[in-house]
Amino acid sequence: MSQPTPLCAETERSLVRTATARQSEGRVPGLLGAVARHGDLLWSHGVGAADLDDAGVPLDADTHFQVASNTKTFTAVMIMQLRDEGRLTLDDTADLHVAESAHPHVTVRQMLAHTTGMQREPVGDVWDTLRFPDRTELVEGWNGAERVLRPHTHWHYSNLAYAVLGEIIARLDGREWAESLQARLIDPIGLRRTGTRGVAPMAGTYYVPPFSDVPMPEPRLDKRATAAAGALWSTATDMAAWHGFLAAPDASILSQDTVEEMCQPQIVGDTTSWTFGWGLGLELARKDGRTWVGHTGGLPGAVTGVFTERSSGTTGLVLMNSTNAPDPRAAAIDLGAYVLEHDPEPLTAWAPGTEQPDELVPLIGRWFSEGTGFTFVIKGGRLEARIDGLPASRPSSVFEPLGDDAYRTVAGREKGELLRVRRHSDGSVRQLNWATYRFTREPLPFGVDVPQH
């Protein structure tokens, strides 16, 4: 694998300045900022201290941080693996896999997208007592929990729902959630320093009072049966690799189509400005016309954000060792977006194709439907199409042959629909029908026959 192209010195200076400003303005004891491309770190920089009691603890890309609710992205991927294995469906209800569940009609899809309407936290005032339930107590508490909203009416974040997703994984795999995580994702992807326990060197956890500049230590929690909602520790190096996987997954672990499905909006979280929504376990944030997928995380003394622009494989991340820290989503995306805008990946030279299937040659060129022009071309031996005026950032439609003059749209506009070739009696192409709409060589209104040869 080729090494990533280093960032220029001016870009690095700007990133350091941005990270330093976040740390200073937010009064964060230690902030680690990083940017990656295709899973490999391009830049990382620590500002402040990882451990205020031990100056020898490094603040770098291998320092262990609690990544908190970034854990949910791992849980979501494991649920999708189980779906792809045919062991559950997204429309399954919780009681199908947790027989004791007393809440009907709560689906796996709703839990992934935070649309169940279930209360946010496990019963028992866990953020007051700091005692989290074991697996038996989790299910008992789930049954006693309140469904505070009707499903699908609002985005309503629920750690409780994700804890139950972890229970579903554990029951289907017949082992603890953490064991499934290790076998399904951590080992296959090679995440060397990701797990449910902190390992040195690791960051401290602090709270900075509003009227004092002396940080106070925060407790480290045992999340027990709620681990699937936010128990992981990781590093900038491992989280970059994880997001490299989310941008371009290894098909032996999870298919590209499944990750694309996870990135489809299920609900808008911000109905005022529409700046973020939720897919299946992934937050979808919009900035300057681009979509960033990822998650934030927060625990006592730990706030994190990791987001990726998938088309470029660019990841921005921040790991902070403070309870009251700057907006991690904004901080992570600002770092990644700066690199994407000012120091993008080098352009790839065009390479000529080597295959031009004979059956595609009569189909290429200009076609018209409802008066609008489309251009059909051969690229990489496959038929592709673009509507006039489609921005370069939008994908072409791509077709796969089915035989008998039929093609399936596998990407882009009208994905899933059929393209059929209609012929004259002499075998020449008369018209195309794509998603049933007629495409002709000349612009024609509805109801006018295609001219005969």
| Strand-pair partners of 322 | 206
Residues 63, 111, single domain; the answer is yes
Which CATH number belongs to the domain containing residue 386 in this structure? 2.40.128.50
Asked whether the predicted pLDDT for residue 1 surpasses 60, the reply is no
Asked whether residue 353 is domain-assigned, the answer is no
DSSP states along 8-62: PHHHHHHHHHHHHHHHHHHT-SEEEEEEEETTEEEEEEEEE-S-TT-TTS--STT
Residue 266 near residue 278 (C-beta atoms within 8 A): yes
Domain CATH for 296: 3.40.710.10
Using DSSP's 3-state secondary structure scheme, residue 399 falls into strand
Residue with more model confidence, 393 or 95 = 95
Same domain assignment for residues 376 and 408: yes
End position of a domain, from candidates 342, 372, 396: 342
- pLDDT band, very low/low/confident/very high, at 453 (cuts 50, 70, 90): low
User: In this structure, are 362 and 329 located in the same domain?
Assistant: no
Is 102 within the bounds of a domain? yes
14-72 pLDDT, tens digit per residue, is: 999 999 999 999 999 999 999 999 999 999 999 999 999 999 999 999 999 999 999 99
pLDDT at res. 3: 72
Q: Are residues 328 and 397 in the same domain?
A: no
Measuring CA to CA, which residue among 138, 324, 95 is closest to residue 228? 138
Same domain assignment for residues 85 and 231: yes
pLDDT of residue 2: 61
Query: Do residues 292 and 366 share a domain?
Result: no
The predicted-structure confidence for 4-23, as pLDDT tens digits, reads as follows: 789 999 999 999 999 999 99
CA distance 66 to 422: 60
Question: Side by side, which strands form the sheet with 283-287?
Answer: 40-48, 30-37, 314-320, 302-309, 290-299, 283-287, 276-278, 267-268
pLDDT > 90: what percent of the chain? 95
CB 267 within 8 A of CB 278: yes
Q: Which of 298, 318, 342 is the last residue of a domain?
A: 342
Q: Kindly state the tokens that stand for 12.
A: 């690095």
User: Looking at the domain assignment, is residue 167 inside a domain?
Assistant: yes
Tell me what pLDDT residue 447 has.
82
Amino acid 300 reads P
Same-domain pairing of 79 and 124: yes
Q: Which domain holds residue 382?
A: 358-439
The verdict on residue 448 lying in a domain is no
Q: What is the mean pLDDT of the chain?
A: 96
Q: Which two tokens stand for residue 295?
A: 């998650």
What is the rounded distance in angstroms from the CA atom of residue 234 to the CA atom of residue 348? 33
Last residue of a domain, one of 288, 311, 342: 342
- From the CB of residue 113, how many other CB atoms can be counted at a distance below 10 Å? 25
Residues 362 and 334 in one domain: no
pLDDT reading at 451 higher than 90: no
pTM over 0.85: yes
Question: Helix or strand or coil: residue 372?
Answer: strand
Give yes or no: residues 290 and 402 share one domain: no
pLDDT digits 0-9 by tens, 209-255: 999 999 999 999 999 999 999 999 999 999 999 999 999 999 999 99
Burial class (CB in 10 A: 0-12, 13-18, 19+), 19: buried
Q: Is 215 left (phi over 0), alpha (psi -120 to 50) or beta?
A: beta
Average pLDDT over every residue of 182-193: 98
Rounded to the nearest 10 degrees, the angle between the axes of helix 236-247 and helix 71-84 is 40
- If asked whether residues 152 and 284 sit together in one domain, one would say yes
Residue 176 lies inside a defined structural domain of this protein? yes
Structural domain contains residue 89: yes
Instruction: Look at residue 4 in the predicted model and tell me its pLDDT.
Output: 76
Same structural domain, 278 and 181: yes
pLDDT digits (tens, 9 = 90+) for 252-302: 999 999 999 999 999 999 999 999 999 999 999 999 999 999 999 999 999
Q: What is the pLDDT of residue 42?
A: 97
Instruction: Calculate mean pLDDT across residues 402-431.
Output: 96
State mean pLDDT over 140-162. 96
Q: What pLDDT, on a 0 to 100 scale, did the predictor assign at position 71?
A: 98
Q: Give the chain's domain count.
A: 2
Q: Is residue 2 part of a domain?
A: no
Q: How far is CA 452 from CA 371, 430, 444, in A?
A: 19, 8, 14
Pick the closest to residue 191 from 302, 282, 79, 77 (CA basis): 77
State whether 377 and 407 are in the same domain: yes
The percent of residues in the chain predicted with pLDDT above 70, rounded, is 99
Do the domain assignments include residue 64?
Answer: yes
